[in-house]
Amino acid sequence: DAGVIQSPRHEVTEMGQEVTLRCKPISGHNSLFWYRQTMMRGLELLIYFNNNVPIDDSGMPEDRFSAKMPNASFSTLKIQPSEPRDSAVYFCASSFRGRATDTQYFGPGTRLTVL
């Protein structure tokens, strides 16, 4: 099992540019989570999906952020336009059924730097 796959691993962009982060969950997992980790705020849940449907996006910081899951094996997190304060490590995680008892498996993360 390849685990959760994220791409790119590192992204450096200039303020105002569009950024797209990608995630492939573990095959057979029905729930997918996007997190952001910063020194100031720690690890925060941005949004999660069950069966490709967004369930809770209350953690998405503002309208510049959007996430999609067009099928069970792919999700994107888009930031448009990007700002320096978006610099962080973005993690994707998946779990079997998304129940509270199910362990979440994390990807290696995408380190985003917005200049």
By C-beta, is 16 or 61 nearer to another protein?
A: 61
Q: How far is the CB of 82 from another protein (least distance, A)?
A: 22
DSSP assignment of 50-113, as one string? Answer: ETTEEEE-TT--STTEEEEEEETTEEEEEESS--GGG-EEEEEEEESS--TTSPPEE---EEEE
Q: How far is the CB of 16 from another protein (least distance, A)?
A: 27
Upstream peptide bond of 81 is cis (omega within 30 degrees of 0): yes
By C-beta, is 81 or 89 nearer to another protein?
A: 89
Q: How far is the CB of 107 from another protein (least distance, A)?
A: 5
Instruction: By CB under 8 A, name the binding residues for another protein.
Output: 4, 31, 33, 42-45, 48, 55-56, 58-59, 91, 93, 98, 100-101, 103-109, 111
